[in-house]
Structure 1
Amino acid sequence: MSALRFLALLAVLLATARAGSAARADIVGGRKARRQQFPFLVSLQNQGRHVCGGALVHPLFVLTVASCFQSRNPGIVTVVLGAYDLRRQESSRQRFSVRSISENGYDPQENLNDLLLLQLDREANLTSDVALVPLPPQNATVEPGTSCQVAGWGSRRRGGRLSRFPRVVNVTVTPPDRCRPNNICTRVFTRRGGVCEGDRGTPLVCNGLAHGVASFTLGPCGRGPDFFTRVALFRDWIDSVLNTPSQEHWPEGPPTEPMGGL
């Protein structure tokens, strides 16, 4: 990447980060996922409305992104597992409150280290609708050109309604010179496709492992590139949190501004 192009990319990244909730991400150009196809998907909800995604990585912990909580207390969020049809009351669902949160040096100005672990108030009951997603080892890489999947309840276009069912799209990992070292970037090259409003925090699954979590996107929804926090850089830290659950409860408090999607 040339110096001028790199500086231009950095300028856009900074503008995107400062935009906060205005920088959004949903599944664009995808297809309806099958029931139980992604049993690790998490719907983070505020007053019954889906606002961000996440992934169940331990019976007590959900992996998502810190940027979901820039302007809202995580203590008021409901963590919903086993959801599929957001417009129905499903017997498969399990609901939890957030007991505590753990972050690792999140920088909101540049959207760096955009990762968060939510500890649930009790252990999830693992079923065919609620399962764990495996994580990559520390410092593992994903080769450019790798085909991955991302799924979520985001809308199909900016400003559109959230999807009733999770939708999934196949994406391709871009070369490192079109991304940042702490991120994995993806695009859909043959048509419009990718993430947009409502899917921040949803996992990027490559070769069966959650290699990324959706952080932000550049350009219009579905045009990309889409930036995912690189989970493998934080695996040792994630394991340290999972192995030492907190005994303290996250205090609930009044909401400030609406929680941002991507």
Structure 2
Amino acid sequence: MSPRSLIRGVLGTLMLAAAALSAPAAAQAAPAPIVGGSQATETYSFMASLQQQGRHGCGGSLIAPQWVVTAAHCVTSRQGGVTPAQQIQLRIGSNDHTQGTSAAVQRVIRHPRYTGDVSGGNDIALLQLRTQVQNQPVSIASGSPSENSSTRLLGWGQTCPQQGCSQQPPRYLKQLDTRINPDRMCAAGFNGANELCVYGTPQATACYGDSGGPALIGGSGRWQLVGATSRAGQNGSTCGTGNATIYTDVTAHRQWISQNTGGA
């Protein structure tokens, strides 16, 4: 894995590859999974699986009946362009990523300041669905979580920390309860203004295949979205290296989200 990379996020490549993962290129990201977590203890109505040809590639969160937030690198091709909306399908609201509400994508909106280098920040994108779904969305928290506050991570990523150690994503959703790190625990290139430094180790972390999936605060029936999986917190190809994972701070992008969704 390239420095600070967790998720390659190239849906076309990810979905067609046998392992549903691709080898990350320099300064880009690769999909991250949940290592050391447990099977999901509840059904998250807002949890989305981004897919191509029926293969899971990244996670996302339903924030309104017609809108999903994910990582920008999940909708970026090897050439740096935006993945065409018609190539992306979603499954929403089931712990089994082969089930749940099926939704087609009408429009992909990548953050305009995302450069293709995830260490540059702004690793966030919006997916507008062709039609509204009935699933209950998750609300975005009013502000960034404080240092050492608890957070829950969700994903269908690989369950071992070394790149390529798993050839298939798990079918059933996993969760991991962890905490927000001090900013200093994440590597150079981390931007505390719009990113979250999340605690993790090679035995318990987000990893390849979890990209774009949520970091949550709150509890059952009152979950709030604070982050979207972006990349590793330190250099190295093993997930959890440096005891950190970097998440895009979704709360820091509230204004951009509101502008593009019409306040949805």
**Alignment TM class, shorter chain as reference:** 0.7 to 0.9
The structure 1 segments of at least 4 consecutive aligned residues displaced by more than 3 Å after TM superposition are 11-17
Partner letter of residue 110 of structure 2? Answer: E
Identity among equivalent pairs (%): 28
- Normalised to the residue count of structure 2, the TM-score between the two structures is 0.77
Aligned length: 222
Gaps of 5+ in 1: 1-10, 246-262
Q: Map residues 191-230 of structure 1 onto 2, 5 A cutoff.
A: 192-207=203-218, 208-217=223-232, 218=234, 219=236, 220-223=238-241, 224-230=243-249
Partner letter of residue 18 of structure 1? Answer: A
After superposing the two structures, state which structure 1 stretch, 55-64 or 227-236, moved more: 227-236
> In structure 2, what is the equivalent of residue 145 of structure 1?
148
Question: SS where residue 256 of structure 2 aligns?
Answer: helix
Distance 1:34 1:45, change over 3 A: same
Counterpart Cα distance in 1 of 2:145 and 2:132: 31
Larger radius of gyration between Structure 1 and Structure 2: 1
CA contact (8 A) 1:115 1:229 kept: yes
CA contact (8 A) 1:170 1:188 kept: no
Counterpart Cα distance in 2 of 1:222 and 1:41: 23
Deviations 1:174-219 (A, max 9, x none): 1122233221011136x72111111100010023321110011143
Q: CA deviation at 1:103?
A: 2.5
Name which of 18, 21, 24 aligns with 2:26.
Answer: 18
Counterpart Cα distance in 2 of 1:122 and 1:166: 25
Partner letter of residue 237 of structure 1? Answer: W
Counterpart Cα distance in 2 of 1:188 and 1:216: 12
Counterpart Cα distance in 2 of 1:50 and 1:238: 24
CA contact (8 A) 1:184 1:227 kept: yes
Partner letter of residue 200 of structure 2? Answer: V
Counterpart Cα distance in 1 of 2:31 and 2:95: 22
Partner letter of residue 164 of structure 1? Answer: R
Counterpart Cα distance in 2 of 1:241 and 1:62: 12
Counterpart Cα distance in 2 of 1:216 and 1:50: 18
Partner letter of residue 216 of structure 1? Answer: R
Counterpart Cα distance in 2 of 1:86 and 1:97: 15
Name which of 24, 34, 38 aligns with 1:31.
Answer: 38
Partner letter of residue 259 of structure 2? Answer: S
Deviations 1:196-253 (A, max 9, x none): 11110001002332111001114312444110001121101111222178xxxxxxxx
Q: Map residues 25-174 of structure 1 onto 2, 5 A cutoff.
A: 25-36=32-43, 38-71=44-77, 72-86=83-97, 90=99, 93-104=100-111, 105-109=113-117, 110-126=119-135, 131-137=136-142, 140-157=143-160, 158-159=163-164, 160=166, 161-174=168-181
Gaps of 5+ in 2: 7-23, 78-82
CA contact (8 A) 1:155 1:198 kept: yes
Counterpart Cα distance in 1 of 2:97 and 2:145: 32
Q: CA deviation at 1:143?
A: 1.3
Aligned-CA RMSD value: 2.4
